Amino acid sequence: MSAANLGKKVFAVKKKTALILGAGAVLSLTAVALQKKRAKPAPLRLANPFVEHDSLESAALTAGFPLTVPEAPEGYGERLIQVMGESMIQVIFRSGEDRLIIRKATGDGDISGDYNEYDESWTVTVGGAAVKLRGSGGMVSVATWERDGFAYAVDLDRPMAEDALTALIRQIS
């Protein structure tokens, strides 16, 4: 083989090697770019709009209106009082993992925060207010009503019988 042919072959091998290495680099960079594209963004963390209070009196001063609730509904112990701005007071009663939430807000409408679909929905009158109940199997999971310019809601993790819930609602103002 002549020196010229040998030079051409060496050049061809170097050229193929350079192309292979270049293609590998492009594939690596593409894979990195795709991986970055697929990476999930950091979760958006919203600020909690509720501020805790030690008493209903303190919550009323912040909200500008009072909320009256029973000391602790039967079967519930721990109580957490919170205010959202000057528009809502909520009291959360806990029993293990179960919560019973009572809310009062200025205005009207459903303030329960419960957007679940229920098998049953009916209305009863309690203390002169039309109370909309939602639940399943005759048990109530959510109650909402309006009275004197305020919206009210009771949201239950553990459904309650209608008569027990209406007795509870009579104690809320």
Tell me the average pLDDT across 3-14. Answer: 50
Residues 96, 11 within the same domain? no
Global confidence as pTM: 0.73
pLDDT of residue 162: 97
For the stretch 9-44, pLDDT in tens is 544 445 554 445 444 444 455 555 555 555 566 677
pLDDT of residue 44: 75
Residues 18, 69 within the same domain? no
Helix intervals (H) in the chain:
3-38, 56-63, 162-169
Q: CATH no. for residue 72?
A: 3.40.1000
Instruction: Print the domain residue range for 153.
Output: 50-169
Residues 3, 67 within the same domain? no
Residues 105, 140 within the same domain? yes
Residues 21, 60 within the same domain? no
**In the chain, how many domains are there?**
2
Residues 34, 87 within the same domain? no
Instruction: State how far the Cα of 162 lies from the Cα of 154, in Å rounded to an integer.
Output: 12
Residues 58, 106 within the same domain? yes
